[in-house]
């Protein structure tokens, strides 16, 4: 379950809608980061749950072996537990991967002026 809050800067009125923490959903984990280049906060995905079958890319040097399972359709039956795994992602600014970001956790400072941001009491949005 993830929660998104509205954070407002009391000095420069910068506003961001982010979780302010690491949030774990069913399919992904997000982390709030502060981008020094955008001077803004972003929620970025740091872990993604993917189907196990997407892992099967062999190294380029590997010999091609006959794969009897290659034509088996992926298991998509409801009620069947699908094998999944977590893919670790490097947190990157969604605007540009070359931006300098750092992990930001509430209570935290405004990316524009350095004041501590106020967080709304109620979540702005809840996702799962």
Interface with Zn ion (CB under 5 A): 9, 11-12, 14, 35, 37-38, 93, 95, 99, 110, 112-113, 115
Q: Which two tokens stand for residue 13?
A: 């009125």
Residue 44: CB minimum distance to Zn ion, A: 10
Give the DSSP per-residue string, 21-69: SEEE-SSEEEEEEEETTTTEEEEEEEEEEEEGGGG----TTS-----TT
CB of 91 to Zn ion, least distance (A): 11
What is the CA angle 52-56-57, rounded to 5? Answer: 140
Minimum distance from CB of 6 to Zn ion (Å)?
A: 14
- Check if the beta carbon of residue 78 is closer than 8 Å to that of residue 55: no
Q: How far is the CB of 16 from Zn ion (least distance, A)?
A: 10
Is the Cβ of residue 28 or residue 93 nearer to Zn ion in the bound state? 93
User: Would you say 80 or 98 has its CB closer to Zn ion?
Assistant: 98
Written as six digits, the tokens of 78 are: 């409801």
- Closer residue to Zn ion in complex, CB, 18/93: 93
């Amino acid at each position: 379950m993830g929660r998104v809050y509205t954070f407002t800067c009391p000095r420069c009125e910068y506003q961001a809608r982010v979780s302010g923490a690491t949030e774990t959903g069913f399919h992904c984990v997000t982390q709030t980061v502060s981008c020094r280049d955008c001077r803004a906060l972003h929620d970025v995905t740091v872990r993604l749950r993917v189907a196990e079958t997407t892992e099967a890319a062999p190294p380029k040097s590997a010999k091609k072996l006959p794969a009897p399972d290659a034509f088996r359709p992926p298991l998509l039956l409801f009620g069947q537990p699908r094998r999944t795994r977590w893919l670790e992602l490097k947190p990157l600014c969604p605007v540009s991967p070359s931006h300098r970001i750092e992990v930001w956790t509430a209570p935290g400072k405004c990316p524009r002026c350095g004041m501590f941001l106020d967080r709304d009491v109620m979540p702005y949005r809840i996702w799962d």
